[in-house]
């Protein structure tokens, strides 16, 4: 079974631009979560989607948004990019959300560099 | 406010010996705990988890211990192998939101020959 895939793997943008990252979950997985990893803040939860609905949200500004499609694929968007948005963005999928058995499996991440 | 802490940024262990990685948490609502392993340029790989109703879970060379009263968990790797060299993250979630993980800052494990 294929793992979580994320595209693109690397991205360079300039301040003020916007960016869209894509995530395809493991086949059959319906919950997708997004995380940001930076050297200073570590791994931080952005949001989670299930059945095309945002189920949980972390403490990030409204510039960070996401959506999920009917096939469970998800995209996240960051508008008005800032230098501090440079990070590794990780997507994780699980069968369904909630409960101790729903382990998340991570993709390889998209590394975003904002200049 | 760092709710999940890994106070040792790095650990070096000889091959064949035991590696013990520690993690402390402050949020008493957390009831599900996991360990992930991460290589550079890759996403975290799930290793082992434990529910708060247990105090130990074992999977091959990996054992996780949970001490709820001390809000402390640890990962034991026995015996340690060079391929175990990576960054290890502990993570925790509150009830009903296992998809919303709070991660520690990671411990870099180096297993030497």
Please compute the mean of the pLDDT values over residues B53-82 and round it to a whole number: 97
* Shortest CA gap A27–chain B (Å): 17
Please compute the mean of the pLDDT values over residues B46-64 and round it to a whole number: 95
Q: Find, in chain B, the residue whose alpha carbon is nearest to that of A6.
A: B43
Interval B2-40: pLDDT, tens: 799 999 999 999 999 999 999 999 999 998 999 999 998
- Judging contacts by C-beta atoms under 8 Å, the chain A residues touching residue B105 are 42
Is-contact B75 B57, C-beta < 8 A? no
- What integer pLDDT is reported at residue A100 of this predicted model? 56
Strands B86-93 and B102-103: antiparallel
Is-contact A23 A6, C-beta < 8 A? yes
CB-nearest to B42 from A45, A55, A108 is A108
Interval A68-114: pLDDT, tens: 999 999 999 999 999 999 999 999 999 877 665 578 899 999 999 99
Residue written as token pair 């993709």 = A107
* Shortest CA gap B50–chain A (Å): 8
Is-contact A87 B23, C-beta < 8 A? no
- N- to C-terminal Cα separation, chain A: 37
- What integer pLDDT is reported at residue A98 of this predicted model? 65
Please give the structure tokens belonging to residue B14: 């000889």
Residue written as token pair 């211990």 = B65
Which is nearest to A85 in space by CA: A46, A51, A56?
A46
In angstroms, the CA A57 to CA A15 distance is: 24
């Amino acid at each position: 079974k294929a793992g979580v895939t994320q595209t693109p793997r690397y991205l360079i943008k300039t301040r003020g631009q916007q960016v869209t990252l894509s995530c395809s979950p493991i086949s059959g997985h319906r919950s997708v979560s997004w995380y940001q990893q930076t050297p200073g803040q570590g791994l931080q939860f952005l949001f989670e989607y299930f059945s095309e609905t945002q189920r949980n949200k972390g403490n990030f500004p409204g510039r960070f948004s996401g959506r999920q499609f009917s096939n469970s694929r998800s995209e996240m968007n960051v508008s008005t990019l800032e230098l501090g948005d440079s990070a590794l963005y990780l997507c994780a999928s699980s069968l369904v959300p909630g409960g101790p058995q729903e382990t998340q499996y991570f993709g390889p991440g998209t590394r975003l560099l904002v200049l | 406010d760092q709710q999940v802490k890994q106070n040792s940024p790095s650990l070096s262990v000889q091959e064949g010996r035991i590696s013990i990685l520690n993690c402390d948490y402050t949020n008493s609502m957390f009831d599900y705990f996991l360990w992930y392993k991460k290589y550079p340029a890759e996403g975290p790989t799930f290793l082992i988890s434990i529910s708060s109703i247990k105090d130990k879970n074992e999977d091959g060379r990996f054992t996780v211990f949970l001490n709820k009263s001390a809000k402390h968990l640890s990962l034991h790797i026995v015996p340690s192998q060079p391929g175990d060299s990576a960054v290890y993250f502990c993570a925790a979630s509150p009830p009903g939101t296992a998809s919303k993980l709070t991660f520690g800052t990671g411990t870099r494990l180096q297993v030497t020959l």
